[in-house]
Amino acid sequence: MFSDPLLFRKILTVLIILLICFFIAFTILKKIGKDPRNILPVNFAHKVWVPLLIFLAGLILKIALLSKLFRYQYTYELLQPISTLGIILSATWLIILTLKILKNRMLKRYDVNTSDNLKARKIYTQFNILENIVIFIIIILAIGIALMSFDSIRTVGVSVLTSAGIAGIIIGFSAQKAIGTLLAGIQIAFTQPIRLQDAVIVEGEWGWVEEITLTYVVIKVWDKRRLVVPCTYFIDTPFQNWTKNSADLLGTVFLYTDYTVPVDKIRDELDKLLETTPLWDKQTKVVQVTDATDRSMEIRILVSAKDSPTAFDLRVFIREKLIDFLRKNYPESLPKSRVQIKNEDQKQAQV
């Protein structure tokens, strides 16, 4: 094919044009990224150089084919689908990268690391799930456009669609559970029974929502294990969400003591302890006797914290310090069993 000097010069010209167009586009994107006022990040040009090069190559090759640059028919039959697939692939790639960049740019307004991050977690959850949905739709459309660009495949596709009614019904029933899981993921994005970093109790495990996808949710358990749960679980099964309406939580500490314990002294000690720790958010502190049995009484301490991890640490701190306080100052008020022994003389004296 390169025995023709004229053809070789034409191909070389096309390659030079490709490199020049790529260099110009890359330079423009790089300069745009340097300005912080623009929506594109600084390293955008380096992220998209591969799909950009493929797109320009496919576009220039398509123009060369339309201008009848090549002599042989088999060359057109070989390069025509390559150029079409290159344009579709690179365009899809660029759209997905741009979508991710736009999402990250918009999410910069919201900080999930603050104490009051309810709105931020809500926005992050919606954007992450909707991003997965949009990317899924873009990929499906790209595959459909790629297949429909070939006449032979389009003809086969039409014949298959017209004769596959029963097969479609069977596949629909087989994929019913998968479709239900997918719809549950979409429902979570809009109704939001859970959000990212929510404190939840699932299957008896306490943890935080670490990741939400279209089909499953990852729960980070307190001991660093990961619990993977299908999205349908949060639609069909009752579960506890400790941070549904706000990030702050009430921590509960139970003490079981003897009836001789001075409850007011416990209140005073709780005040001293809370003033010494940054874990308390200075909102709630309550000491109440909530139950009494034949052997001990139950004292419930309520304290508040800015989020679930802090509330857990605060509960542990208060429990340890109050037990130590009772042990040192009122050891007789710790739980104990009483046994009364009477001898025969005492019984007769009572008679």
Could you list the beta-strand ranges (E) of the chain: 199-202, 205-212, 216-221, 226-230, 240-241, 249-257, 285-292, 297-305
| Most confident of the ranges 83-87, 203-207, 298-302, 334-338 | 298-302
The residues pairing with 297 across neighbouring beta strands, listed in sequence order, are: 257, 292
Cα–Cα distance, 323 to 253 (Å, whole number): 11
The residues pairing with 209 across neighbouring beta strands, listed in sequence order, are: 219
The residues pairing with 217 across neighbouring beta strands, listed in sequence order, are: 212, 229
- The domain defined by 114-246 folds into SH3 type barrels. (2.30.30)
pLDDT band at 157 (very low <50, low <70, confident <90, very high): very low
Residues 6+ apart with CB under 8 A from 101: 39, 40, 41, 44
What is the CATH number that goes with domain 249-333? 3.30.70.100
Dihedral (Cα; 274, 283, 238, 130), 10-degree rounding? -110
Residue 184 has pLDDT above 90, yes or no: no
| Confidence (pLDDT) at 320 | 93
Helix (H, G, I), strand (E, B) or coil at 248: coil
Could you tell me which residue, 325 or 178, shows the higher pLDDT?
325
| Most confident of the ranges 15-19, 135-139, 187-191, 322-326 | 322-326
Cα–Cα distance, 340 to 350 (Å, whole number): 15
pLDDT band at 326 (very low <50, low <70, confident <90, very high): very high
Residue ranges covered by each domain of the chain: 1-109, 114-246, 249-333
